[in-house]
Structure 1
Amino acid sequence: MKAMYYEAFEQAPEIRTLPDPTPAEDGVVIAVGASGLCRSDWHGWMGHDPDISLPHVPGHELAGRVVATGRGVMRFKVGDRVTVPFVSGCGHCSECHSGNQQVCPNQFQPGFTHWGSFAEYVAIDYADTNLVHLPDTIEDATAASLGCRFATSFRAVADHARTGPGEWIAVHGCGGVGLSAIMIATALGANAIGIDISEEKLAFARECGAVATVNASGVADVAEAVREITKGGAHVSIDALGHPVTCFNSIKNLRRRGRHVQVGLMLAEHATPQIPMAQVISNELEIYGSHGMQAWRYDAMLSMLSAGKIAPQKLIGRRISLEEAVPALMALDKAEGTGISVITRFS
């Protein structure tokens, strides 16, 4: 198979011909139809993720068709169109038994713990626990875009933050995660505020449903700007970027008993951000981390998509080839342009 491959962190990946994968007894092999590029892939390539062993094939947002199954797989067969959460549970531990596969201590992560989907084929373990059947009405590129950013945002906004109609939600960072959160919050009846330093991204945030935007580079105090718009602070706030400044502002701009959800990864030198703990205590704020979404929760998201309440396909900016994905991966920290890039050509 053709795949993106690197043998050292921070060195340019190459397109190599590698052996085709074979399924584990409880796993499948998927012919990849589409795979999204995510900032998490960049973190992995930089060496920020301790789960990656070299050499490596990245890629964790995927959709495609099952081409081989292990003997123990019962719920899926060759020919099924599927996607998979980027955090997959083992199906046997106490966390998986409680329905929380996203924090499984034995988790399988394509593109991190195992070789990923920037390839013609990818092997996925624990298939019965983690694969999600795709309806024919959802194309591969749209389904792939759900796998990390959109699904994580869905769980953050709907499950962790319990965002309700009429509430104010501030979204810090209007990349793929932030735009997803704005779209989902709007579908739930909330009033979303997009916050970024790019006017182009803020304009796109308004197209996705934001009722107000804040250019963080043009105001003296982002938290105060949000308080002014909301007349007291946001009920919910999401750090969709993963930076000490956006994390701090996201907590700081909450009203009393507000809920902050950290979605953007905080790795390397950003791993220990400053938190306004006095405000957290006195205002009884809630702080959550959000790390993916379980396969069993995909039905709710797919139902909203089929009903036209959310349109993740609008967030796809570029459809690119596997070769074009090499420079695109290395530039993911630049956060230029709007929308997300999806690999749709592999041969």
Structure 2
Amino acid sequence: MRAVVVSEYGVLPEVREVPEPPVEAGSVVLKVEATGLCRSDWHGWMGHDSDIVLPHVPGHELAGTIAAVGAGVSGWAVGDRVTTPFICACGTCEQCLEGNQQVCPNQLQPGFNYWGSFAEYVAVPYAEVNLVRLPDDMDFATAAGLGCRFATSFRAVHQVAQVTAGEHVAVFGCGGVGLSAVMIAAALGAEVTAIDTNPDALALARTYGATHTLQPPAEPAAPAAGPTTVVAQLRELGRPHVTIDALGSSDIVQQALQSLRPRGRHVQIGLLPAGVNLDVARLIGQELSWLGSHGMPAHAYPEMLNLVATGNLNPRQLITRTITLEETPSALAALTTGTPAGVTVITP
């Protein structure tokens, strides 16, 4: 099969022929019909993920048709249209049995600790626990985004932050995760402020339901300069009940915590490979909540899919670019200098 292969961290990958994944017991192999290009893939390519062993095939947001079914897998057949969370949970550990597959200690992640979906075929382990059947009228490009960015944002906004109508939600970073969070929070009836340095991303955020948009300077204010422009503007708009870091930045974390009203909730979705220094005194004194959110398990998809089916959510709108497998290496490398507005989908 053709696949995007990373041979060295930070060095442009190449598309070449590699063996197809074997169909092992308990797993299925999918023909990849669409797969998303995500900043998490960039982190992996840069060497920020310790699970990756080179050479490697990235890709973790995917949708496709089942091409082969392994021994012991029931309820699924060749030709079924499916997607899967980027966290493939084992289904048998304590966390899985409690319904918390998104934090399964035995999880496997395509594109990280095994070869992913920037390819014509990809394996899905623990298939019975992780496959999600697609509605007949949902196209593969839309479904691919549900495996990571949209589903991650849905759980973060709806299930972790528990956003309710009338609350003020500030979303920092309007890439695919952030724009999904804007759309979902707005659909829940929240007043949403979208924050990004990219005016094109902010224009999309307004389309998806943002009430306010803020464009901070590219360089944050020095700590001694007092509250940043964004913090001051958020305070003028009314301190948020919820802040979401959908990018992964120590500067954003500080701005979010300074902006929150007392007893506010901060949700961290974006990865922080360099770590972060928290103002613990502020967390305690203002009784702020710091919440991590990591994907969404397959069993939680029906509520989201129902909202998509009824038109309350429209993840298809987030897709702004479709590229080929051959265009993927350069698109991955381009994330070093910025994230294009909207969601990019690859069709192998």
TM class by shorter chain equals over 0.9
Q: Within the alignment, does 1:312 sit opposite 2:315 as a pair? A: yes
> After alignment, is 287-296 or 195-204 more displaced?
195-204
Please name the residue that 2:289 is paired with. 286
Deviation of residue 224 (structure 1)? 2.1
Please name the residue that 2:149 is paired with. 149
Amino acid at match of 2:234: V
Question: C-alpha separation between the residues in 2 aligned to 1:277 and 1:223?
Answer: 18
Tell me, yes or no, if the aligned pair for 1:39 and 1:333 is still in contact at 8 Å. Answer: no
Please name the residue that 2:180 is paired with. 180
Alpha-carbon displacement from aligned partner over 1:273-331 (angstroms, at most 9, x marks no partner): 12222221111111111111111111111111111111111111111100001100111
Question: C-alpha separation between the residues in 2 aligned to 1:223 and 1:298?
Answer: 35
Tell me, yes or no, if the aligned pair for 1:175 and 1:335 is still in contact at 8 Å. Answer: no
The 5-angstrom pairing of residues 23-172 of structure 1 reads 23-172=23-172
Question: C-alpha separation between the residues in 2 aligned to 1:197 and 1:21?
Answer: 40
Tell me, yes or no, if the aligned pair for 1:259 and 1:286 is still in contact at 8 Å. Answer: yes
Tell me, yes or no, if the aligned pair for 1:23 and 1:125 is still in contact at 8 Å. Answer: no
Amino acid at match of 2:181: A
Question: C-alpha separation between the residues in 1 aligned to 2:252 and 2:108?
Answer: 29
Question: C-alpha separation between the residues in 2 aligned to 1:188 and 1:86?
Answer: 25
The 5-angstrom pairing of residues 182-197 of structure 1 reads 182-197=182-197
Please name the residue that 1:245 is paired with. 251
Alpha-carbon displacement from aligned partner over 1:171-214 (angstroms, at most 9, x marks no partner): 00111111000000011111110011122211111111000111
Question: C-alpha separation between the residues in 2 aligned to 1:23 and 1:223?
Answer: 52
Tell me, yes or no, if the aligned pair for 1:85 and 1:292 is still in contact at 8 Å. Answer: yes
Please name the residue that 2:234 is paired with. 226
DSSP 3-state at the match of 1:255:
coil
Please name the residue that 1:276 is paired with. 279
Q: Within the alignment, does 1:259 sit opposite 2:290 as a pair? A: no
Same amino acid, percent of matched pairs: 53
Alpha-carbon displacement from aligned partner over 1:63-96 (angstroms, at most 9, x marks no partner): 0000101111112111110000001211111011
Please name the residue that 2:9 is paired with. 9
Q: Within the alignment, does 1:338 sit opposite 2:341 as a pair? A: yes
Question: C-alpha separation between the residues in 1 aligned to 2:234 and 2:277?
Answer: 19
Please name the residue that 1:328 is paired with. 331
Tell me, yes or no, if the aligned pair for 2:82 and 2:133 is still in contact at 8 Å. Answer: yes
Alpha-carbon displacement from aligned partner over 1:138-193 (angstroms, at most 9, x marks no partner): 10000001111111111110011000000000000111111000000011111110
Alpha-carbon displacement from aligned partner over 1:106-146 (angstroms, at most 9, x marks no partner): 10100001100000000110000011000111100000011
TM-score, normalization by structure 1:
0.96
Amino acid at match of 2:243: S
Tell me, yes or no, if the aligned pair for 1:252 and 1:276 is still in contact at 8 Å. Answer: no
How well do the aligned residues superpose, as a CA RMSD in angstroms?
Answer: 1.2
Tell me, yes or no, if the aligned pair for 1:156 and 1:290 is still in contact at 8 Å. Answer: yes
Question: C-alpha separation between the residues in 1 aligned to 2:231 and 2:297?
Answer: 32
Amino acid at match of 1:127: A
Question: C-alpha separation between the residues in 1 aligned to 2:294 and 2:339?
Answer: 24
TM-score, normalization by structure 2:
0.95
Please name the residue that 1:299 is paired with. 302
Deviation of residue 334 (structure 1)? 2.3
Alpha-carbon displacement from aligned partner over 1:210-258 (angstroms, at most 9, x marks no partner): 001111119943222111112xx10111001101111111222111111
Stretches of structure 1 lacking an aligned partner (at least 5 in a row): none
Amino acid at match of 1:327: S
Tell me, yes or no, if the aligned pair for 2:88 and 2:124 is still in contact at 8 Å. Answer: no
Stretches of structure 2 lacking an aligned partner (at least 5 in a row): 222-227
Shift >6 Å, 4+ stretches: none
Question: C-alpha separation between the residues in 1 aligned to 2:302 and 2:139?
Answer: 16
CA shift in 2, pair 1:336/1:113, >3 Å = closer
Tell me, yes or no, if the aligned pair for 2:175 and 2:339 is still in contact at 8 Å. Answer: no
CA shift in 2, pair 1:94/1:336, >3 Å = closer
Please name the residue that 2:21 is paired with. 21
Please name the residue that 1:198 is paired with. 198
Question: C-alpha separation between the residues in 1 aligned to 2:23 and 2:339?
Answer: 38
